[in-house]
Amino acid sequence: MMTDPLADMLTRIRNANLALLPDVEMPHSKLKESVAKILKREGYVSDCAVEGNKIKKLKLRLKYQGRKGVIEGLRRISTPGLRRYVGATEIPRVLDGMGIAIVSTSRGVMTGIEAQKQKLGGELLCFVW
């Protein structure tokens, strides 16, 4: 039984990035799909797609600069054992704006900058840089 599917997703991306694999597959969920769409929109992955009919899989195509991945680091912040909630003014900057914070708000999953613009707080899911 997997207790933290988002941490599993981040670990799969981290491992595939270190192994210089072109793409990575994982079980599908709506939360993972919305995080993957944010990663694509922000330029960390080149493509994300949902495959399969009965058993859906989420497939991400990773981006590289030579022999180095575009994603330098991924860090899970809120865990099932210790949830981290922040207000709109408390959302941290990642590496002085070089990375993104992903926040789950009442209006869906979005980056920290988008949440601040809409004056929304929520659960601080992860950092990507």
* pLDDT over 70 (residue 124): yes
Average confidence (pLDDT) over 83-89? 97
Share of the chain above pLDDT 70, in %: 99
Tell me the CATH number for domain 5-69. 3.30.1370.30
Average confidence (pLDDT) over 86-90? 97
Q: Tell me how far apart the alpha carbons of residues 103 and 15 are, in angstroms, rounded to a whole number.
A: 23
Average confidence (pLDDT) over 94-115? 96
Q: What are phi and psi of 34, to 5 degrees?
A: -70, -35
* pLDDT over 90 (residue 100): yes
pLDDT of residue 2: 79
CA angle 94, 82, 127 (to 5 degrees): 15
Q: Could you tell me the CA-to-CA distances from 123 to 101, 111, 120 in Å, in that order?
A: 11, 11, 10
pLDDT in tens, 4-21: 999 999 999 999 999 999
* pLDDT over 70 (residue 34): yes
Q: Would you kindly state where each structural domain of the chain is located, as residue ranges?
A: 5-69, 74-128
pLDDT of residue 75: 97
Tell me the CATH number for domain 74-128. 3.30.1490.10
* pLDDT over 70 (residue 1): no
Average confidence (pLDDT) over 57-73? 95
